[in-house]
Amino acid sequence: MNMSLLLVLLASGLRVNADWIERVDGTIAYDFEAHPLQIKTDSIVGSGEKLTVTFYKTGSYAGRITVKFGDPIQYKVGGACASFKPFPVTLAEEQDKIWIFSKIETNLGVKIVITCNNVEVLNHDVTSSDCTTAWDKDVNEMKFFPEDSASDMYKDQPASSPCARPTVEGGCVRPTDATVQYHAAYTVTCNDGFTITGETILTCETYGNLDQSPSCRSNSNEIESQECAR
């Protein structure tokens, strides 16, 4: 982060965290668009504990992200009208986890991206959901509530953080490394019988975000996805 940006954020009261900070109940000034949020947990699968953080624009509700440590671990993006769902990919087996929550604004709308121990586990389009329409607000506050029994520590994600390898069903993502460094890239190729939608080169940009989210579309309902050769 350059010095001028740091001074602007400090002057505005928005928090800039270089080190881990103990999580406490209450409202915290936080620029979620500029700074993906990292949270540490050591909750056990099946414990029922919850990680939950709510985001606001000057006191006006914008959205909520909740992770419930059931078996399997589930997520909920939105308020009371949202429902818990299992993550679409397998989570890290380690008990100690670092979660990164990002809000990404694109020409097509807003996405909430979640990574766990450097693996992208959710890329969720919230633009079209009636339950999460308030995510279009520019977030400047976040709040921890007593119901959050899982979050231990939190901090900002550095701008030059590595990017987690995405999962593309029906295709291969290379290299097969779990992460690539800032400004490096992944390449996506679709398996036989699948067609690419979007760009094939995914460049790692600021705050651990890839600049593209391609998909591989099956040309036939009978074609099965194949393992990506290493």
Could you report the per-residue pLDDT of 105-147, keeping only the tens digit for each? 877 788 899 999 988 999 988 876 656 568 888 999 999 999 9
pLDDT in tens, 24-35: 999 999 989 888
Half-sphere exposure of 133 (CA within 13 A, CB side): 3
| CA distances in angstroms from 112 to 65, 71, 125, 135, 173, listed in the order given | 9, 23, 7, 9, 21
The pLDDT score that the predictor gives to residue 219 is: 87
Q: Which residues of the chain have pLDDT under 70?
A: 1-18, 80, 128-133, 158-159, 221-230
Sign of the CA dihedral running 203, 204, 210, 216: positive
Prediction pTM value: 0.68
**Given the structure tokens 């040309």, which residue do they identify?**
219
pLDDT of residue 56: 94
Cα–Cα distance measured from residue 15 to residue 31, given in angstroms and rounded to the nearest whole number: 8
Q: 154 and 176 in contact (C-beta within 8 Å)?
A: no
Residue 88 DSSP symbol: S
- Residue 126: CB atoms within 10 Å: 20
